[in-house]
């Protein structure tokens, strides 16, 4: 069973995407930028991404403890340590497979970070959600 989780963006129906999609016990969080933190430094922008992610994952029936993969897209290579420190605050004991990639641009030129996540809920905890 597939459940689409909306992030409330007016662009979701226009572009045809969801903030997250849950299929069975697997959750895929779309690339998430620091909406509302355009003027923050990269530390603040990364924290904003995690705020958005925790909400979407919760609505999909999981949490950071279920995350098995993260992909971080940075626009400035020098930001890797700051982003890595914030990532480590959330995932130091969980330790998902993680990738950092430097890209030329993100959708919003003010954004320095965008993160995708994949989560798997253990079968004994997997309870279907409704959205």
pLDDT digits (tens, 9 = 90+) for 87-121: 999 999 999 999 999 999 999 999 999 999 999 99
Condensed to tens digits (0 to 9), the pLDDT of residues 53-64 reads 999 999 999 999
Confidence (pTM): 0.91
- Domain extents for the chain? 2-125
Question: Dihedral through CA 14, CA 16, CA 22, CA 28, nearest 10?
Answer: -100
CATH topology classification for 2-125: 60s Ribosomal Protein L30; Chain: A; (3.30.1330)
Residue range 18-36: average pLDDT? Answer: 96
Average pLDDT, the chain: 94
Q: How far apart are the first and last CA of the chain?
A: 12
Q: How far apart are CA 13 and CA 84, in angstroms?
A: 33
Judge whether 87 and 78 are in contact, CB under 8 Å: no
Sorting pLDDT into bands at 50, 70 and 90, what band is 124? low
């Amino acid at each position: 069973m597939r459940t689409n989780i909306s992030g409330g963006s007016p662009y979701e129906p226009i572009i045809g995407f969801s903030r997250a999609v849950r299929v069975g016990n697997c959750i895929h969080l779309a690339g998430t930028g620091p909406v509302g933190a355009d003027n923050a430094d990269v530390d603040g922008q990364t924290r904003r991404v995690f705020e958005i992610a925790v909400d979407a994952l919760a609505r999909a029936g999981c949490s950071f403890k279920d995350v098995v993969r993260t992909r971080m897209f940075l626009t400035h290579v020098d930001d890797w340590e700051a982003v890595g420190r914030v990532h480590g605050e959330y995932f130091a004991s969980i330790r998902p497979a993680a990738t950092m990639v430097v890209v030329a641009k993100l959708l919003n030129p003010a954004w320095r970070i965008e993160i995708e996540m994949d989560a798997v809920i253990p079968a004994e905890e997997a309870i279907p959600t409704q959205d």
